[in-house]
A and B are shown apart, each in its own frame.
Chain A
Amino acid sequence: MVLVVAAATVLPFGCYSQTASYQAMSDVPTKIEFERSGGFAGVTLSVVIQLDQLPEEEAQHLRGLVQNAHIFELQSPPRSPDQADAFQYTLNVHTQNNSKTLTFDESNISAEAKPLIQILTKYAKAQRRSAQ
C-alpha cells in the first residue's frame, strides 16, 4: 500500500532549484521508501513517498535532499561496534530505471544524508499521527 502524506507544516522549504542539476529525467527520484526500526522500544516507523503525488515544492525539496545525500554513490556503512538500541534506518530510493537501498545506524549517517533522514522521519511521524 502506498501512502502519501501532505505534511506542509513540517517542511522548511528552500532548495527548489537543486533538481535542475539532475543529468537526465531517468536520474530523478520518483519514490522513496523509508523505515526506522529498532531503538529501545523496537517500534518501527515507516513511510512510502510517491514524489509525483506530493505538492511540487515538497517534491522538489526532497529531490534536492536526495541529490545532496549522494544516495546512488553511497554504500551502507558497517554497523558501529558496541552500540546497542540505536535506531536502524533503511532507505530505498527509486528512479525511473534504478533503485538503491541503504542501511545506516544513527551514529554512522553521513552529514550529507542527515537532512534527508530527518525530514523522512518527520513524514513518517506525520503518517503515524494520521493513524490515530
Chain B
Amino acid sequence: MNRNSHNGRSPLTCIVPDHILRHLAERGTARQKDWAMKTLITTARLRGHREVLQTFAESLLPAGEKRRTIYDAGHKEKLPGKLVRGEGSPATGDKAIDEAYDGAGATYDFYWNVYKRNSVDNKGMRLDSSVHYSEDYDNAFWNGKQMVYGDGDGEIFDRFTKSIDVIGHELTHGVTQFTARLEYSGQSGALNESYSDVFGSLVKQNHLKQTAAQADWLIGVGLFTPNVKGVALRSMKAPGTAYDDPQLGGKDPQPDHMSKYVKTSSDNGGVHLNSGIPNHAFYLVATQLGGNAWDKAGRIWYVTLTERLQPTSEFQDAATLTYKVAGELYGTGGAEQNAVASAWDKVGIKVS
C-alpha cells in the first residue's frame, strides 16, 4: 500500500484527515473522542504509526493524571536506556530511579494543583527520565525531550536526583520550551535558568509545605559531598554565598545585582551566574508578600513565563512584564505590584 497516496488521510474513513481526528481525540466531546480514537487506532494498527498511538494514549488519560517512565542508562551515554519503572509500578530500591520517579511526580502535581498545568506541554506529555547516565557524571540536564541525571563523581558531587528542586528545575526547562522559548544564552538564557530555579524551589517548598519565610531558598542542597565547603549550589536569598571552596574555583560567583552582572563567553554567556539577579528579585517579592510563595509571587511569575515573555526577552522585559501581570492579577498600585517594583529596584532594574 502506498501511504503517500492517501495524503495524510486515514485509509479507512478516507474523509477525515488525521490532524482533525487527533484534534477531536484530544478536544472533542466524549462521543467525538471515542469515535476519533477508534478510527485513529485502527488506522494506526494498519499503518504502524507509533506517533498516532502516542496521541491516542495521551488523550485517553484524564488531565491531572501523570505518566512517568524511568530508564536506566547503565552508565552509558545512549538515551533513554532500559525501561526500569513505569507509572504506578512499585519502588525499585534503587535511589536514583525512585527519586527521579517521586520528584517527577511532585513536580507534575505541583504544576497541576497550583496552576492547572497538565504536564510540561499542558497536554499531558509523558515525563521521561534517564538515571545512571554516563560515568562519574556530575550533571543533570533537559535534552528537549526528557530529563537526564548523573550519579555524580563521588568527589565533589553526589547523585543529582538527591535534591527535589533539581528535578523541578529540569522539568521547568520543559515548561519554558513549550511556552516562552527563552533562548539559552545571555540574558534570555539567564532568565530561562532563573525560571527553572524559581519553580524548582517552589516544587520543593510546596512538597515540604513551607511558607516563603520558612523556606531555605537554596538550590541543590545535598548535591555536594561532605568534601566540599558549601551548603548548596545557589542561594536565591543571598546569591554568591552558597559555597566557598578552592576545588570549585573559590566562592559562589553568582551576582545579586545588575552592577555585578558577569560578562563572559563561558556557560552560554553566564546563564547559571546571572540568573542570580532575577532569582533574588523573586525571593524579595515572595518574602515581601509572605505566605506560600507559589500563591501570589509564583502566579505572577508563572503567567509571565507562559503568556508574556518572548524568546529574546531580557531582564528589563521580565521586570516590566511581571509588574504588569501583578497589576492585572491583583490590582494596579496594590501591595503585589508594589512588591514587584521594589524587588526589581533592589537588584538594579527600574520598572514603571
Report the nearest B residue to A90, measured CB to CB.
B266
The answer to whether the Cβ of B249 comes within 8 Å of any Cβ in the partner chain is: yes
Render B256-290 as a binary contact track against A, CB cut-off 8 A, 1 for contact. 00000000011110011100000000000000000
Among A15-23, A36-44, A52-60, A63-71, the stretch that binds chain B is A36-44
Residues of B within 8 A of A (CB): 138-145, 153, 155-157, 160, 166, 169-170, 173, 176-177, 184-185, 192-193, 196, 220, 223, 227, 233-234, 246-249, 265-268, 271-273
**Minimum distance in angstroms from B141 CB to a CB of chain A:** 4
Residues on B with C-beta less than 8 A from A84 are 141-142, 170, 173, 176-177, 184, 192-193, 196
Q: Are A82 and B177 touching (Cβ within 8 A)?
A: yes
Residues on B with C-beta less than 8 A from A85 are 139-142, 169-170, 173
| Most B C-beta atoms less than 10 A away, residue of A43, A82, A132 | A43
The listed residue (B138, B184, B247, B249) touching A39 by CB distance below 8 A is B138
Q: Are A88 and B177 touching (Cβ within 8 A)?
A: no
| Most A C-beta atoms less than 10 A away, residue of B138, B192, B193 | B138
Render A103-121 as a binary contact track against B, CB cut-off 8 A, 1 for contact. 1000100000000000000
Residues on A with C-beta less than 8 A from B265 are 90, 103
| Most A C-beta atoms less than 10 A away, residue of B142, B193, B223, B266 | B266
Q: Are A132 and B170 touching (Cβ within 8 A)?
A: no
Residues on B with C-beta less than 8 A from A129 are 155, 247
For this complex, 19 residue pairs linking A to B, each with C-beta atoms less than 8 Å apart, are: A37-B266, A37-B267, A38-B272, A40-B140, A41-B272, A42-B234, A42-B271, A42-B273, A82-B142, A82-B145, A83-B184, A84-B177, A84-B184, A84-B192, A85-B141, A90-B266, A125-B155, A128-B156, A132-B246
Report the nearest A residue to B196, measured CB to CB.
A84
**Minimum distance in angstroms from B145 CB to a CB of chain A:** 8
How far is A125 from B249 in the complex, measured between Cα atoms in Å?
12
Residues on A with C-beta less than 8 A from B196 are 84
Residues on B with C-beta less than 8 A from A87 are 139
Residues on B with C-beta less than 8 A from A12 are none
Residues on A with C-beta less than 8 A from B155 are 125, 129
Residues on A with C-beta less than 8 A from B223 are 41
